[in-house]
Amino acid sequence: MNLRVRGWLAVWAVLALGGMAWGQGVRTSITLEEMEGLLRSWGYSYERKEAAGAKYFRLRLEGLHALLFLLDCQDGQCRSLQLYAGFSMRRPPSLERINQWNQEKRFSRAYIDKDGDPVLGADLWIGEGVTEATIQDFLDTFRTSLRAFAVWIGFL
């Protein structure tokens, strides 16, 4: 076999094996127990909660609280994650200030809830397949956004 053919075979082997390794660990759903295991292994501070039949996690991120909901569930297998953090304030920011966040920032959304309090949220659809690293990045990105948002609205 000549050197050129060997080179192409080597490239093909690396791509084929790399593709197989990449495909491993891809999730299209997650259970509450699996999510708890990931939170624990990543060193997150959390409490497992249940209210009105809904199970979720209360996270402590950068000294602030956020809720992590597992949604779009069937038989305990959930296909999306939602992060939520609400802020009760005597003098909440204006709607214009909240809209400015949405115009200038990415990877989260802000709004005023029915009680007039500012909220920061983010969603991750995992139903088509994501890695655990993607889920961890989703949480880490929200942690960064949460701290920045708390400063943005004058909470911190």
* 91 domain-assigned: yes
Query: Which SS3 state, helix, strand or coil, does residue 43 take?
Result: coil
Q: Is there a domain that residue 38 lies in?
A: yes
Range of the domain at 115: 26-152
**Per-residue confidence (pLDDT) for residue 25, from 0 to 100:** 84
Instruction: Specify the number of domains making up the chain.
Output: 1
**Is 10 inside a domain boundary?**
no
15 within a domain of the structure (yes/no): no
Write down the residue that tokens 């609205």 correspond to. 153
Residue 121 pLDDT: 98
Residue at 119 is within a domain: yes
Domain assignment of residue 130, yes or no: yes
Ramachandran angles phi, psi of 83, nearest 5°: -105, 140
Per-residue pLDDT at 42: 97
147 domain residue, yes or no: yes
Least confident of 52-56, 68-72, 81-85, 128-132: 52-56
Terminal Cα distance for the chain, rounded:
68
CATH of the domain at 142: 3.30.1460.70
Q: Give residue-wise pLDDT tens across range 142-153.
A: 999 999 999 999
CB 21 within 8 A of CB 14: no
Is 13 a residue whose pLDDT tops 90? no
Is residue 59 within 8 Å of 44, Cβ to Cβ? yes
40 inside domain: yes
Among candidates 87, 80, 137, 130, which has minimal Cα distance to 107? 137
**Rounded distance between C-alpha atoms, residue 119 and residue 113, angstroms:** 7
* pLDDT tens by residue, 23-41: 458 999 999 999 999 999 9
